[in-house]
Amino acid sequence: MKIDRCERSAVRPRSARDQVTAYPSASVFEEGEKVTDLVLSMTGIEKRFGPVLALDSIDFSLQRGEIHALLGVNGAGKSTLVKILSGVYVKDAGEIEIDGRRVEFSTPRDAIEQGIASVQQHPELVDDLSGHENIFLGQEAESPGLFKRIDRHGMRDRAEALLSRFPVAASLALPVGALPPVEKEIVAVLHALRRDDIKILILDEPTSTLTEREKAQLFQMMRALKTAGIAIIYITHRLEEVFDIADRFTIFRGGRRIVTLTSQDASERGVSIAELMLDRTPGELYPPKLTRKRGEILLDVRKLSQTGAYQDISFSVQRGEILGIFGLVGSGIDELAKALFGATRPGAGEIRLMGEAVKLAGPRDALRRGVFLLPGERKTEGLTLTRSVTFNTTLANPGRASRVCGLIRFGRNREAAATLAKQVALHPPQLWQVVSAFSGGNQQKIVLAKGLFCQADIYIFVEPTVGVDIGARAKLYGLIRELSAKAAVVVMSSDCDEVFGLSDRVMALYRGRAPLDPVETITRGRLLAAGIMGAR
């Protein structure tokens, strides 16, 4: 096994001060020959945010043409490291070398000039522009000068030529807003690769909204980039993907790099990535299922239909239980959730809340009637990114957040937000910070805190743990289970294990229909078959 100078410090700590309690098996990985074909070397990287030491003497290396996964719970330090590498943050100490040459980054442009490109978890594309236009956004004209003419034909030809280098397909002539998630991701990657001198590509949670088939298509593109000699830093919370795509992985914990291993050796030795990340066994991820007596039916859906989205959907949910609905992207779960929250209106069927047939006038009406939705698109539908954690947490329940005369209870709201931030394990718990400054997983926790503050009777969670690391998932699942003691809970997810492990009863959606009605006793295989093939 190859272990470079960076790996050695993780296996054998430099001093007692640097000693890190690690996975017990970490020490059995023997030192090998030194890696020589490095495109990136980062040594002794440190970064502080006030009194918080976010990165503590980090060493990290990247080989040319490798896919290297970065792993760790939220707040472990991996995002801070890649932001330093991307020029977003300036390091406080340490050295960065590209191709053996020392470099300094003070802006993202500096990093790009050195051949480093990034694709964020939610790429900021312009939906109304075509794929061609998004790829060359900011570089529409090749000729310099004050008066630049946009060469749309040239831009199209250059974009198609760039796409042709990879074994994937994307409809670049269409507006990006009309493309499926995987094609949007492809456009974002092509935008990052529009320069010919890119050596390092950073991908942040690129598969979080993709189906298994779409993920395979993206992995195919990543392998083509690897063959072309481009090194990829791959950030993911889906641990099973590490062995599918990564050559090596590095685990961060508490601002320190714990270990770097090859995926092959880790697999052969039976290494538990979760234990390395948590410094303990993950234990039971899902809380115990229903043992108490269920209460009255709070949500009753009868033959609900919406053209092109879902047809004849029926189910009921009682107080005291969690109903899980498994469905892949495009199955109709997102549209169904919005109908139950009043964001869209079904074409046919009936929704009954607490026994009363209702026609929801909108989300405000749904909230007033005790229905809360945690949407799948947290950035555009669940949060006000430019406002603080406290503002977002208390937004959905203005009656609780203000006095009778309409004056906001600032002090009480801060106290409530602080309590909820601790409940959902928000890190760091900076209530004054704007939500856009937090990672995707932490933003998901803020939406959940918003739901807890709402004190609803019916909770609808769509993809509740997207972007949330394994260390925080168990806590969030526990909170969802606690909510079900007093409310009716619906969990809609494309993660079959999540639905199967968390729910008291389950059903499946496939292409807008329900091949599996709610059942209490079922095998995981049958639920999976119903959701991915429509099997009854």
Within the chain, which residue ranges are assigned CATH 3.40.50.300? 5-115+197-278, 297-533
Q: What is the DSSP letter of 304?
A: E
Going from the C-alpha of 337 to that of each of 173, 340, 469, the distances in angstroms are 31, 5, 24
Output the furthest CA–CA distance in the chain (Å, rounded).
74
Distance of CA 62 to the CA centre of its chain: 23
C-alpha–C-alpha distance, residues 49 and 232, integer Å: 27
Six token digits for residue 104: 């300094």
pLDDT at residue 481, as a whole number: 92
Query: CA 77, 81, 82, 88 torsion: positive or negative?
Result: positive
What CATH class does 5-115+197-278 carry? alpha beta
Cβ atoms of 501 and 479 closer than 8 Å: no
Residue 115 has pLDDT above 90, yes or no: yes
Lowest mean pLDDT among 37-46, 136-145, 322-331, 520-529: 136-145
pLDDT in tens, 488-517: 999 999 888 899 999 999 999 998 999 988
CATH level 2 (architecture), domain 297-533 = 3-Layer(aba) Sandwich (3.40)
Distance of CA 126 to the CA centre of its chain: 20
Six token digits for residue 424: 């959902």
Question: Taking the complete model, does pTM exceed 0.85, yes or no?
Answer: no
pLDDT at residue 84, as a whole number: 94
Residue 31 has pLDDT above 50, yes or no: no
Going by pLDDT thresholds of 50, 70 and 90, the confidence category of residue 144 is low
pLDDT in tens, 207-228: 877 777 788 889 999 999 999 9
| Higher-confidence position of 286 and 145 | 286
pLDDT at residue 380, as a whole number: 82
Going by pLDDT thresholds of 50, 70 and 90, the confidence category of residue 42 is very high
Secondary structure class of 20 (helix, strand, coil): coil
Instruction: Please give the full DSSP string across 185-222, using - where no structure is assigned.
Output: HHHHHHHHT-STT--EEEEESTTTT--HHHHHHHHHHH
C-alpha–C-alpha distance, residues 179 and 214, integer Å: 12
pLDDT at residue 140, as a whole number: 61
Token pair 């039971």 in the structure block, residue = 284
Instruction: Please give the full DSSP string across 88-145, using - where no structure is assigned.
Output: SS--SEEEEEETTEEE--SSHHHHHHTTEEEE-SS----TTSBHHHHHTTT----S-S
Distance of CA 511 to the CA centre of its chain: 24
Summary mean pLDDT of the chain: 85
Instruction: Please give the full DSSP string across 456-511, using - where no structure is assigned.
Output: -SEEEEESTTTT--HHHHHHHHHHHHHHTTTSEEEEEES-HHHHHHH-SEEEEEET
Highest mean pLDDT among 7-16, 101-110, 291-300: 101-110
pLDDT at residue 16, as a whole number: 29
* Mean pLDDT on 227-248: 91
Six token digits for residue 440: 């995707």
pLDDT at residue 346, as a whole number: 94
Which residues are 233's β-sheet partners?
68, 202
